[in-house]
Amino acid sequence: MKVVFDFFCAFIGLVILSPIILLCAILIWLQDYHSPFFLGERVGKNGRLFKMIKLRSMVKAADKAGIDSTSSQDPRITQIGRFVRRYKLDEISQLFNVVKGEMSLVGPRPNVKRETDLYSKEEVHLLDVCPGITDIASIVFADEGEILQNHDDPDIAYNQLIRPWKSQLGLFYIKHQSFALDIKIIYLTVLCIVSRSRALEKVALLLKKLKAPEELIQISLRKNPLRPTPPPGFDSIVTSRQLSPS
């Protein structure tokens, strides 16, 4: 059911949104005459690698820098890239991945292998399902770039401030996934672009109805500063991407 729903919605979405994709692609190409698409290797269901298709928002070969997390101040982001990232237009092309069966409309966001190699035994279950274009964490941490700004190492900051809650929200979604929940998350994702504050309030109410832990509900409201926290399954805060915390 989910696979069929994803396929038809993605196909229809591509037909409707193709003018936007084409316009953005032309503007990105005119900027530096390089491919307007970025094919980033990500880890999918059951650990299979695939190329995630995004409209390129950074300079060519930006991924060669070895930095996976992007702050809003990242100098690799182009002028047009800031616009497409602001309105999540760079994510639209991932509908191609959904049509190909590599992604779902809703599911834990796909990560690079350098990050999934750090997963705890608990977090590995995030790979039990197809990654999605959006999920609850995508709404809660829609301001990821702002969270990571002013940090000397955005990858470590991501692992300390965002990953713990992003993983918890992803695991919570997997335990409660349903067609109805997917429709609600898609609606809240659209609402987030229009009014993030309202979207966060509704996410908190949704989590409350699903009997999520109170701490997770409070985090979803994003009213308090994020603090370094151990990822699910670990007792210590991540301080290095070379070795998993013990």
Distance CA 197, CA 213 (A): 21
What is the rounded end-to-end Cα distance, in angstroms, of the chain? 40
Q: For residue 245, what pLDDT is reported?
A: 45
Distance CA 49, CA 187 (A): 29
pLDDT tens digit sequence for 111-161: 999 999 999 999 999 999 999 999 999 999 999 999 999 899 999 999 999
DSSP letter, residue 160: I
Q: How many structural domains does the chain have? A: 1
Q: Residue 130 belongs to what domain range? A: 2-221
Contacts of 113 (CB under 8 A, 6+ apart): 41, 43, 49
- Asked whether residue 120 is domain-assigned, the answer is yes
Q: Summarize the confidence of residues 53-80 as an average pLDDT.
A: 87
pLDDT category of residue 69 using cuts at 50, 70 and 90: confident
Distance CA 140, CA 148 (A): 14
- Asked whether residue 229 is domain-assigned, the answer is no
Rounded to 10°, the helix 214-221/196-209 angle is 170
pLDDT category of residue 62 using cuts at 50, 70 and 90: confident
**What backbone phi and psi angles, to 5 degrees, belong to 172?**
-65, -40
pLDDT tens digit sequence for 173-184: 999 999 999 999
- Asked whether residue 163 is domain-assigned, the answer is yes
**pLDDT exceeds cutoff 70 at 243:** no
